[in-house]
Amino acid sequence: MTEKEKMLAGEWYQSRDEELIVERSRARQLMNSLNQTKDTEEHYRKQLIDDLFGTIEGEIGLEPPFYCDYGYNIHVGDGFFANYNCVFLDVCEIRFGRRVLVGPNVQIYTATHPMNREMRASGLEAGRPISIGDDVWIGGSAVINPGVTIGDNVVVGAGAVVTKDIPSNVFVGGNPAKFIRHMD
């Protein structure tokens, strides 16, 4: 397997691989252009997001600045909106359902590193995909960790750190994020 194939499969891989370096560079060029757009350049901004993201279903919104690793592993449903200064580390897929609202400074990490120091020093890393359902609101400065699945109709409180799966129809908050109440 290539390092990219290992990365996409969630296996340990070398991020310093030349193919991956080139792909991250492409994403950075697109992000740089996106992050310099003016509000009046909505059509150009949409084109850049279309070129960056893997799939876009319907109308979406994204406020720059925005940062990611590759972009092509980000898949968004109709009505998706991400506010200012979001970071999506997409070494594996990040899938958003419909009508997902992402607050400012939200960080979504599929990337992870070995706990063993020798293995970590070797430069190996891995990723675990993240899935976010329909009608989800992720409050500002929340962090979503690798491998998490968030159900439908979920509210993640501002500043929450999500380390485990969240079922549908709940409000969670805190560090680590815990159940607060059921949604109506």
Q: What is the pLDDT of residues 115-136, one digit of tens each?
A: 999 999 999 999 999 999 999 9
Assess whether pLDDT exceeds 90 at residue 183.
yes
Provide the pLDDT for residue 4: 98
Provide the pLDDT for residue 75: 98
**pLDDT band at 77, cuts 50/70/90?**
very high
Provide the pLDDT for residue 47: 97
**pLDDT band at 184, cuts 50/70/90?**
confident
Interval 159-184 mean pLDDT:
97
| 3-class DSSP string for the chain | CCHHHHHHCCCCEECCCHHHHHHHHHHHHHHHHHHCCCCCCHHHHHHHHHHHCCEECCCCEECCCEEECCCCCEEECCCCEECCCEEEECCCCEEECCCCEECCCCEEECEECCCCHHHHHCCEEEECCEEECCCCEECCCCEECCCCEECCCCEECCCCEECCCECCCEEEECCCCEEEEECC
Decide if 170 contacts 133 (C-beta within 8 A): no
Provide the pLDDT for residue 60: 97
> Which residues carry out catalysis?
113
Q: What is the pLDDT of residues 141-153, one digit of tens each?
A: 999 999 999 999 9
Provide the pLDDT for residue 145: 98
For the chain, which domains are there?
A: 3-182 (2.160.10.10)
Q: What is the pLDDT of residues 14-73, one digit of tens each?
A: 999 999 999 999 999 999 999 999 999 999 999 999 999 999 999 999 999 999 999 999
